[in-house]
Structure 1
Amino acid sequence: MTAVQQSTPAGGLMPVSRRVMNLSTFLSQAAARLPDEPALIIDGQTTDWKTLEQRVQALARAFLAAGLVKGDRILTHSPNCRELIEVMLATFRIGGIWVPTNFRITPGEVEYLAQSAGVSAFICHAGFPDHAQLAKNLLGLKLAASIEPTPERADTACTSDTPGINGLIGQHLDVSAALPAARVDYDDPCWFFFTSGTTGKPKAAVLTHGQMAFVLTNHLCDLMPGTTHHDRSLVVAPLSHGAGIHFLTQLVRGACTLFSTNVRFSPEAAWATIERHRVSNFFTVPTILKLMIEHESVDRYNHDTLRYIIYAGAPMYRADQKQALEKLGPILVQYFGLGEVTGNITVLPPCDHSADDQAMTRLGSCGYARTGMEISIQDADGNRLPPDQTGEICVCGPAVFAGYYNNPEANRKSFRDGWFRTGDIGYQDAQGYLYITGRESDMYISGGSNIYPREIEEKILAAGLIKEVCVLGVPDPVWGEIGVMVGVLKDGVQWDQYAFQAWLDANIARYKHPRRFVIWPELPKSGYGKVTKKIVYQELLNQGALSQP
């Protein structure tokens, strides 16, 4: 199933099977070492490691009883809940492939993901009945099941032919013999990590057991060194994506993970949980961290136990970074990386963060290469560029995924001479620190000049009038493309386009100026809390804001 074939070993050695540890073994190890320690605290309810291991083993037996086998794809459509984690780990246990979706996407989008992945099981949260109906249209399903987030309501929303996950677990909990994890090799897939689909249809990045073992080791080494079972980790993002990877790093060390099943994020509830449970780390995206820092409750709760706040997934503008550092101290950790490399390209540790622009010697950098990874800045022909020259950011190393599932054209475009091409544009300085100047697909050409929106957005935020901004290129009959700025004003600020234009004239080269300005009460965000230009562009179209003046 591996999408990109590995080269044959050199030196006359015979190829050998590269057996690796099944990722679900991390749970068995934690349960053996720390049976009565808390594994999960969800809505205030605690599950210890021994209980979690027993439930995952029971669910794995239920999967096997349904005919699921190694290599089968198990789609899961659900917001954060204990059963989501149990499905993931039980899937790994039998050697299956977890196919999680963003619970905010439409039934039609879920159907596309299910069909493109060729799923054998369809597990849907009972709160999404329209999505659950898709199971009737999927050929070759061995199992369709429903998730109920609390055991006492296990099957209240399930039909007779759609069992509940808690019911399936209950049928096999009394089996005393341990269920061995399925044998897996390095390149055996464990997770179809769907891209966000900012251009075209989402693609399934194939993550493997061997790759993920490296990723988890790397996260613990570079992002949160010293993590032990005494740590507590808060989840503030969907476990179907980057937060799920972060959960697995806590699992490796036996650290407890906390979260709420409420799909509406509350900054105050997050700060209250951090104080009550003495949380030491969490993973987030810049937009969520910005919400937390700007909420007045940040000053009412104690957060001194926090050692690492890891942010990634989108650029964090300097103005927001400084505010977070001033509120929380030097505990920010930035990493840069795509889903295809599960975040493992660069790290900017706490020592390289500062609220003082003079002390921030690497201002604007997203850090240096992660342990075991190599970065190459390349021109259009694949030639490596020297320091301080801008080109495409390419990467190689054990964190790079196996390729896109069933998509040879995407694989052909994404790999060159063994390098994974990120599609991001940037440069490295002489010391190896990386600076991202934009996404290749975000760049627009106006009057023959290449314009990268991020540079403009950074400067606009630094002016102090606007708290959220998105600059994107749109078609124009005269210039080819022009820039449109969509912004959200800070509280109490009145919009004065003429004054703002005067500020632009004094601070940004005229050819880079946005030609149109749109002010909204807030920017639309993806299901993972990101502001994407695709979503903003679609909303501009919906509002008729792109018609010719």
Structure 2
Amino acid sequence: MLFEYGLAGLLMRTALRVPQNPAVAYGTEVVANYEQLLARATSLSARFQALGVKPGSRVAILMKNHPAWLEIMFGCWHAGLAVVPINVKLHAKEVAHILQDCSPEFMFYDADNPAATEALASVPGTQGITIDTPSYQAWFTQPAAPAVAVQSSSLAWLFYTSGTTGRPKGAMLSHANLLAMALNYSADVEPEGVGRQLLHIAPMSHGSGLYMVPHVLHGSLQICPVSRSFDPHETEQLLTAYDKVSVFAAPTMITRLQASAKGKLPGLHTLVNGGAAMYVADTLRFIEQFGPRLAQIYGQGETPMTISAMPKTMHSVTHPQAMTRLASCGVAQTGMQVKVVDAQGHTLPPNEIGEIIVHGPTVMNGYWNLPEATAAALQNGWLQTGDLGSFDADGFLTLKARSKEVIISGGSNIYPREVEEILLLHPAVTEVSVVGHADADWGEVVVACIVANGDHEQLRAELEQLCLENIARFKRPKKYVFLDQLPKNATGKVLKGQLQAV
């Protein structure tokens, strides 16, 4: 009966089952149990309903990680509203574009975010509410109201893609999409047992926020760092203070944590890598340092966190195919159909590279107000990911590149990731991104953009030798560019387009 209320029903069910379980913590201080979290969410829901906000309306959240995320999200869902998460690193004009595009009734935001106030000034139809203020607390004084029933197909999460190739598009994710994602988490990401805590060091506006859903389902504690962001030292402290902690993080965060850690992170249960596949060298270093506590997922905003997965038990360094499997992003998640196809849409055999397409219960309903883009992305119900990859004979999926990132040199396709994997074998290389530069003779040539320690001239010669020993000559970088850091967008993805202009 509770599931007629969609995702709000998950919180209602957990509060009924384990009301005294700790639900939300700020650093090491627990600030609410599940009974209290539900009370806050239902009070906010009642306020929305008293104001006459119609089911299906949107509410934006532009906040750093904070305990308020949970009460706002579930308060919206309890009232039948859709959440619009916005990355706090976006420019005011980017925030304004999102507000203008989806017309949210309200936006909850941090008072010290100038982009929020500037964007709100240009979009008068959206009312701004700052958190951690008396006026924010006044939103939670309304007596509880009944939950609003929703359809399983009703919009729950309107996620704007990172927009590395143009204006961000709003991927429409339903209650059914996110419930399927939550069930897949238990079946495929942590099948050995879901952690009793979830530490939010990655933005709650993205993957870490989505993973609140399966952890609320399991009655786990949600931990928000006091820094409200990723700080390696604080993360290590929290992974010492708590036990059986799951963490979602991007590869760059994992390598920074690994480099700064003084101990063995005793409270870490599972570190789920997402956003990009980890390089084999980094994976091996992590396992050597912290043990088999790494899981890998592959998803997109259009099929959240749910295309393929490789749980901890699959991260074996002794398996005969260990190096191949560790380079992959695992096998298709439960209930997901994943294919690798050629340009005509024909399924390719193992070890043939093509576009990855996906069909299943987590695939979005489409893009907000963009029917043409929706038709291009969803063909006969299959999501065209734009990612290139291949399956091996055992069903392990390896990503090669975005289709637009393939380098064609002298008529041969070169996949940046395979070159990047080799360059990262050198201990002095901390980050690398391989791109193609236009060339009159070859069409394109391979350029390696590198962040590294030590003498660059000597390193250049050593990297050249490393490539000669491991990959075909035509794949070797023709140019090495050494940088202090790689340019990244608001979600931490490398902006290869900028590197192509270096």
Instruction: Please say if 1:104 is aligned against 2:70.
Output: no
Q: Which residue is 1:38 aligned to? A: 22
Q: 1:11 is matched with which residue? A: none
Aligned to 1:321: 283
Which residue in 2 is equivalent to 1:426? 389
Paired position in structure 2 for 1:121 = 106
Partner of residue 201, structure 1:
167
- Structure 2-normalised TM-score? 0.93
Q: How does 1:339-418 map to 2 (within 5 A)?
A: 339-356=301-318, 358=320, 360=322, 362-418=325-381
Q: Which residue of 2 aligns with 1:501?
A: 464
2:48 counterpart SS class: helix
Distance in 2 (CA, whole Å) between partners of 1:209 and 1:432 is 29
Q: Does residue 167 in structure 1 map to residue 151 in structure 2?
A: no
1:500 and 1:492, CA in 2 relative to 1: closer, same or farther beyond 3 A? closer
Following the alignment from structure 1 to structure 2, what is the Cα–Cα distance between the partners of residues 264 and 183? 34
Partner of 2:248: 283
Inter-partner Cα distance in structure 2 for 1:338 and 1:513: 30
- The aligned amino acid for 2:356 is I
**Residue 6 of structure 1: aligned partner:** none
Deviates more, 1:86-95 or 1:511-520: 511-520
Question: Contact between 2:64 and 2:88, CA under 8 Å: does it hold in 1?
Answer: yes
Q: What residue ranges of structure 1 are gaps of 5+ in the alignment?
A: 1-18, 149-153, 156-163
- Assess, with a 3 A threshold, how the Cα gap between structure 1 residues 207 and 445 changes in structure 2: closer, same or farther: same
In structure 1, the partner of 2:491 is 528
Q: Which moved more, 1:71-80 or 1:114-123?
A: 114-123
User: In structure 1, what is the equivalent of residue 429 of structure 2?
Assistant: 466
State the Cα deviation string for residues 77-122 of structure 1 (Å, max 9, x = none): 1101122222211111111111111101110110011111222222
Residue 138 (structure 1) shift = 1.8
Matches within 5 A, 1:171-320: 171-172=141-142, 175=143, 178-225=144-191, 227=193, 231-297=196-262, 299=263, 302-303=265-266, 305-320=267-282
Which secondary structure does the structure 2 equivalent of 1:382 belong to?
coil
Aligned residue for 1:65? 50
Deviation of the 1:54 alpha carbon = 1.3
Q: What SS does the corresponding residue of 2:480 show, helix, strand or coil?
A: strand
- Tell me the amino acid that sits aligned with residue 317 of structure 1: Y
Change (3 A) 1:319 1:357: farther
Would the aligned equivalents of 2:65 and 2:229 in 1 still touch at CA under 8 Å? no
Distance 1:499 1:431 in 2: 35
Does the 8 Å contact 1:243/1:283 carry over to 2?
yes
Instruction: Assess if the C-alpha contact under 8 Å between 1:345 and 1:375 holds in 2.
Output: yes
Contact map agreement 1:337 1:343 (CA 8 A) in 2: yes
Matches within 5 A, 1:428-507: 428-490=391-453, 495-507=458-470
Change (3 A) 1:272 1:377: same
List per-residue Cα deviations over 1:240-291 (Å, max 9, x = no partner): 0000111111100111011214145221211111111214311111111111
Going from structure 1 to structure 2, the CA distance change for 1:302 and 1:200 (only over 3 Å counts) comes to: closer
Please give the alpha-carbon distance, in whole angstroms, between the structure 2 residues aligned to 1:357 and 1:453.
26
Aligned to 1:91: 76
> Within the alignment, does 1:23 sit opposite 2:1 as a pair?
no
Quote the RMSD (CA, aligned, Å): 2.2
Amino acid at match of 1:65: A
2:76, 2:305 → 1: CA distance?
Answer: 22
Given that 1:334 and 1:347 are in contact with CA atoms closer than 8 Å, whether structure 2 keeps it comes out as yes
Q: Which runs of 5+ in 2 are unaligned?
A: none
State which structure, 1 or 2, has the greater radius of gyration over its C-alpha atoms. 1
Query: Hey, what's the Cα distance between the residues in 1 that align with 2:470 and 2:394?
Result: 29
Alignment equivalent of 1:74, drawn from 59, 78, 98: 59
Question: Given the superposition, is the C-alpha separation of residues 501 and 238 from structure 1 closer, same or farther in structure 2, using an over 3 Å criterion?
Answer: same
TM-score (norm 1): 0.86
Q: 1:514 to 1:208 in 2, by over 3 A?
A: same
> What amino acid is aligned across from residue 105 of structure 2 in structure 1?
S
